[in-house]
Amino acid sequence: MCNKFIKVRNAVKRAAAVCLALTLCSCGSQAAGFTPKADIDREEYTYTETPEETTAETTPQPEETTEATTTTAPPETTTEVTTTEPPKPVGLQDGVLDGHRFGVTKFSHKVYSNTKVKKAFAKLDDICDDYGGTISFAYKNLSTGTIITYNADTQYDICSTVKAPFCKNLLAKRVDPKDEINISVIWDQDGGEVAKGGIGKTYTTKELIRLAITQSDNSAYYNLVNYYGYESFNKQCAQLGVSYNLGSSWIFNYGTANDLLKQYVDIYKYAAKTERGKWLVKLMTKTELESQITAALGDKYPVAHKYGSDWDQKCYHDCAICYADSPFVLIIMTSQEPETKESDKVFHKLAKQFDIINDQIVAE
Residue 319 near residue 333 (C-beta atoms within 8 A): no
Closest CA to 259 of 248, 245, 249, 247: 245
pLDDT of residue 77: 55
pLDDT of residue 82: 59
Task: Please write the tens of the pLDDT for every residue from 319-345.
Answer: 999 999 999 999 999 999 999 999 999
pLDDT of residue 19: 39
The answer, yes or no, to whether residue 167 has pLDDT greater than 60, is: yes
262 pLDDT tier (thresholds 50, 70, 90): very high
Q: Decide if 196 is inside a domain.
A: yes
Which has the minimum average pLDDT: 75-89, 247-261, 276-290, 297-311?
Answer: 75-89
Average pLDDT, the chain: 84
pLDDT more than 90, % of the chain = 75
Closest CA to 308 of 136, 161, 155: 161
Q: Decide if 149 is inside a domain.
A: yes
Q: Decide if 217 is inside a domain.
A: yes
Which has the minimum average pLDDT: 78-92, 172-186, 303-317?
Answer: 78-92
Which uninterrupted H or E stretch holds 45? strand 44-45
Q: Decide if 42 is inside a domain.
A: no
Q: Decide if 39 is inside a domain.
A: no
- How far apart CA 29 and CA 50 sit, in angstroms, is 15
pLDDT of residue 79: 57
The predicted model scores a pTM of: 0.78
Q: Decide if 75 is inside a domain.
A: no
| Encoded amino acid at 134, one letter | T
Could you say which DSSP state residue 161 is in? G
Phi and psi based region of residue 262 (left: phi greater than 0; alpha: psi -120 to 50; beta: remaining): alpha
Instruction: Note down the domain range covering 215.
Output: 90-360
Other beta carbons within 10 angstroms of residue 35's beta carbon come to 13
pLDDT of residue 364: 77
What CATH number does the domain containing 227 carry?
3.40.710.10
Closest CA to 261 of 151, 122, 174, 342: 151
Closest CA to 100 of 48, 144, 137, 52: 137
85 pLDDT tier (thresholds 50, 70, 90): confident
Q: Decide if 237 is inside a domain.
A: yes
- 198-212 average pLDDT score: 98
- 37-62 average pLDDT score: 36
- 343-350 average pLDDT score: 98
Q: Decide if 46 is inside a domain.
A: no
248 pLDDT tier (thresholds 50, 70, 90): confident
pLDDT of residue 108: 94
pLDDT of residue 45: 31
Count structural domains, the chain. Answer: 1
Task: Please write the tens of the pLDDT for every residue from 61-74.
Answer: 434 444 444 445 55
